[in-house]
Structure 1
Amino acid sequence: MRFVLAIVAFVVAAVMIVAGIAQRTVFAPPSQLTAAAIVPGDARYVVIDSSVLNAHPGQQTLTLSGSKNPKTQMVAYGRTADVKAWLADQKYATISYRAGDTAPTVKTVTPKPASTGSTGSTGSASTATPVPTATPTPAPTGSGASQAATPGPNPAGSDLWLDEYDGQDAQVTKMNVPSGVSVIVAGDGTTPAPNKILLTWPVDTSTPWAFPLIIGGLVLLVIGIALYLWGLYTHRRSRGPRRKSGPKMPKLPKAPKYKPTASIEATPRGRRASRRTRVMAPALLAGVLALTGTGAGAAFAETSTPTATPTPAPTTTSAPNDNSPAPAVTAPQLERIIKRISVAAANADAKNDPNLAKLRFAGPALQLRDANYTIRLKKADQPPLPAIPAGPLELSLPQATESWPRTVTAVVKMPNDATGKPQAPLALALVQPTPRDNYMVEYAIALEPNVKVPNLAPASIGAAVVPPDSKLLKIQPDQVAAAYGDILLNGEKSKWYSSFDLTDDKLVAQVGASWKQQEQARLAQQFGQTSTLTFAGRVGPGPVISMATNDSGAIVWVNPEEVQLHKVTEAGAQVIAGATTAALSGVAQSNTGIESVYGYQLAFYVPPAGSNEKVRLLGFAQGLVSAREVQ
């Protein structure tokens, strides 16, 4: 019996070991799934849709080849709607693929000419996107016809992308692109994009049963060897010296078998009968089980619940249907944008070059920097404007929108000054006019010390832009600049004085009505009635930007201006300009007068209509923006 068990153990062990090894070798699944496509012709842009990238689960690896100039190749991914908005009027190739397809399908998308609007314009017209028409591309038989000689836009460096890889970094790209995000592959807009696309997805090659099978087989093999040695040892011990027996006794004749009649009780009784019954019961049970073809476990299964183990039906646990627009940028995307702005600002500040500043600044922020550069070229001791730090971000409030222009508010932590003292954080208002434009700094202000920022929506949700003429606020956004400018001129006599919280307002203390009166009195005392100094307020050219807060209020960015006119009133008298005004105007003294314009970049919190709160200043930046001689 031990030999039989040993043989069974050997056979089962061999099966288990072979099965375990086969799972790691012969039956091992492939390590990855691949989908390769060749883009015919000289397509400048190739779009890989989100459905293609998520055709299989796992991290996507994109491998490019076939570029005529690998240094100019780039790979970027962004929201599918943003990618199509950026392409707009450009012809591009798109790749389609589904799980189970033998190979991806390449099609060419040719946009229809738009009757109005373009991606290069500003305002609402920038949202007009030509309707693309997909046409199948024939199989690649050659280089194909080239596109028109007109160079296309270069997608490299666009703020629209969630992430970007250029040059050799774009050769092999690993990404985890979620649903709703697509990839754009391109050159520099002039050279064709790489035409050989290879997508790979990892496959779970783990074999959890291989190791247990091999170990179990080895253990069973050891048990089989032990059983074999035990049986061999027992067999040898049982074979000792034996005596030869005498002649065998003749067998007794067999008695006739007893056949009970029907009248005699068939069930035997007594000790032998009970022993025979005990012997026959297991044999009878084994026979029944053999006839039914099941073991004891199967017999038990037959008597248990007849229904099979329920398999849950596949269900989709998608998020609830939310049609609210996504925020204009993500937090990592905004951090990358701020770093690019910081580098551009540092280059412009180092060279005092307004053309470099125009790459990242617009509106009031550009106006103030342009004037500062002009002054510093003629006045060496003129301090530069605060640099734009590369981070970290302390607050971000993107607009929740899918159209253009897009607005983003960010607060960046400032490093300590030269003496080691902390500086107030820098607040930026960024605007992206069209999909192909980068975010431009419209406002750059220092926040007031101990400023109380209202409760804002999280960056992952974004906020809405409040219309400039909204009557749902305590003061309409397009009236805030004029109202505050009136306070700077007239002080308590202004009708808007009671609407603003001026308790900790440092700008009013610096250039408010009291300061103006003191300046006029000083000039009258010093020069008599030979000249007059007057002040006037006006609304500057900067846009009114309003971002909603959670309490139905808004953060409002405005650009009031103040005009100072120092005019001669007595013949023979002269007006002497200050060093800063002279550097900007080019006039050191005048027989008629000098006009100086000061620009203010202001950010306010405006409470909702009916609130008991007052409008309060969150931060400001101000400086001389223009100066000229008047007649």
Structure 2
Amino acid sequence: MPRSGAGSRAVIALTGIGTTVALLAGCSAEPPVPEAEAPVVAAVVSEPQEREILQSVATVLEGAGQGGAPLGSRLTGPALTMREAELKVADAADDPRGLTDLSMQMQQVILPSDQGWPRSSFAVTEQPDARTTPVLMAFDQAGARDQYKLWAYVQLASLVTMPRFAEPGLGSATVLADDTSLLVPPGVVAGQYASVLTVGDRSKHAGTFTADDALRQRLREDGREQVAQIEEQDGEGRFSTAFEPVEGAVKAVRTVDGGAMVLAALRGQETLRAEEGWQLAPVSSSAAALWAGGAGSDVLKTSYHYTVAWYVPPAGSAATVSLLGFHRVPYAVSGG
């Protein structure tokens, strides 16, 4: 589970203005030249400001569908896509319990140190109960006059240990998509992981990622369950997945060891095939709500929005890229 704060405190060293005056016999003294002052490292968003941001986002989430401010006023990017998809499923199933709990009670905040824009902050929620893991959220401020918006959220994997970040008062730096100081640049991680999810160990990137993580286990279990239902009726079934990254949907923040936490969006499709003439229907309640009693088929395709978070070690590390968490929601179900 996440640990609050950083493991070691960074020290801000403020270099005072020193003067060195060289006096030479028979010569007048040169005027003192001040030394350059070291930059101050500090977060550009305070913890009280972050709490105000969280409350503003929570208000919009609570009012969604009830005549409140539109989701787009405080959600953007993958978060807006995911929440709209969740609301669609909840409406179709007439069951609001399918919505991810996005309460803004936080156990950890990761504040930005970047002076420019866009800026990103991150936070981890308190664990609501023993059955549910905390949620990692990313927030984005596009420009100086823009509001902070919820950009992405993922459910942390069970028993995961979060990487360590700088103290909130110091702030953590954004890592650019093409940064080569990491084992894999942030902008490349999602594409490589999509390859692994699609073809497994046959992917040339399989060795870059920790083997058999929580998402791959989930996909394998889903496939077995769906195929088993066909086999129980003396049929034969096949299950496959295909993934692709969402272009430009990536954020990364520096960890104290020189690595980074990376969040990115993917699209995934699960395909279940049975023998000709078979009448397939979705297994999960969320996909079934979108199916709404559609005509049966021997091929069933379910499309998902995914948001995934990883820890990426620094370049030269013997460690692998490890999954921190993921969240998915179906947005389309079709046959044939």
TM over 0.5: yes
Residue 43 (structure 2) aligns with: 327
Stretches of structure 2 that go unaligned for 5 or more consecutive residues are 1-35
Residue 407 (structure 1) aligns with: 120
Residue 377 (structure 1) aligns with: 91
1:228-272 deviations in Å (ceiling 9; x for gaps): xxxxxxxxxxxxxxxxxxxxxxxxxxxxxxxxxxxxxxxxxxxxx
Q: Secondary structure of 1:508's match? A: helix
How much has 1:344 moved relative to structure 2? Answer: 1.8
Partner amino acid, structure 2, of 1:629: S
Matches of 2:112 and 2:69 in 1, distance apart? 28
Partner amino acid, structure 2, of 1:479: V
Q: Secondary structure of 2:70's match? A: helix
Residue 467 (structure 1) aligns with: 176
Partner amino acid, structure 1, of 2:139: L
Residue 334 (structure 2) aligns with: 629
Residue 506 of structure 1, aligned match among 208, 211, 214: 214
Percent of matched pairs sharing the same residue:
27
1:277-296 deviations in Å (ceiling 9; x for gaps): xxxxxxxxxxxxxxxxxxxx
Residue 457 (structure 1) aligns with: 166
Residue 149 (structure 2) aligns with: 440
Matches of 2:288 and 2:157 in 1, distance apart? 30
Q: Secondary structure of 2:161's match? A: coil
1:364-404 deviations in Å (ceiling 9; x for gaps): 2222221221122221346332322232x322222222222
Residue 261 of structure 2, aligned match among 555, 561, 572: 555
Residue 16 (structure 2) aligns with: none
Q: Residue 371 of structure 1 contacts residue 584 of structure 1 at CA under 8 Å; is this kept in 2? A: no
Partner amino acid, structure 2, of 1:516: G
Q: Residue 197 of structure 2 contacts residue 242 of structure 2 at CA under 8 Å; is this kept in 1? A: no
Q: Residue 271 of structure 2 contacts residue 300 of structure 2 at CA under 8 Å; is this kept in 1? A: yes
Matches of 1:375 and 1:422 in 2, distance apart? 22
Residue 608 (structure 1) aligns with: 314
Structure 1 residues 554 and 539: CA distance shift in structure 2, 3 A: same
How much has 1:459 moved relative to structure 2? Answer: 1.7
Partner amino acid, structure 2, of 1:429: A
How much has 1:550 moved relative to structure 2? Answer: 1.7
Matches of 1:457 and 1:606 in 2, distance apart? 16
How much has 1:482 moved relative to structure 2? Answer: 2.5
Matches of 1:425 and 1:533 in 2, distance apart? 30
Residue 390 (structure 1) aligns with: 104
Which structure exhibits the higher relative contact order, with contacts defined as CA atoms closer than 8 Å and separated by 6 or more residues? Answer: 2
Stretches of structure 1 that go unaligned for 5 or more consecutive residues are 1-319
Matches of 2:68 and 2:250 in 1, distance apart? 23
Q: Secondary structure of 1:383's match? A: helix
Structure 1 residues 374 and 354: CA distance shift in structure 2, 3 A: farther
Which has the larger share of helix?
1
- The equivalences for 1:72-111 within 5 A come to none
How much has 1:596 moved relative to structure 2? Answer: 1.6
How much has 1:594 moved relative to structure 2? Answer: 4.6
Matches of 2:242 and 2:62 in 1, distance apart? 34
Q: Secondary structure of 1:560's match? A: strand
Structure 1 residues 362 and 567: CA distance shift in structure 2, 3 A: farther
Q: Residue 592 of structure 1 contacts residue 629 of structure 1 at CA under 8 Å; is this kept in 2? A: no
Structure 1 residues 520 and 324: CA distance shift in structure 2, 3 A: farther
Scaled by the length of structure 1, the TM-score of the pair is 0.43
Q: Residue 230 of structure 2 contacts residue 274 of structure 2 at CA under 8 Å; is this kept in 1? A: no
Q: How many residues align?
A: 300
Structure 1 residues 562 and 384: CA distance shift in structure 2, 3 A: same
Q: Residue 577 of structure 1 contacts residue 587 of structure 1 at CA under 8 Å; is this kept in 2? A: no
Scaled by the length of structure 2, the TM-score of the pair is 0.77
Matches of 1:522 and 1:327 in 2, distance apart? 53
- The equivalences for 1:280-319 within 5 A come to none
Q: Secondary structure of 2:73's match? A: coil
Q: Secondary structure of 1:501's match? A: coil
Residue 589 of structure 1, aligned match among 289, 295, 303: 295
> Which has more radius of gyration?
1
Structure 1 residues 552 and 404: CA distance shift in structure 2, 3 A: same
| Runs of 4+ residues deviating >4 angstroms | 352-355, 566-569, 590-594
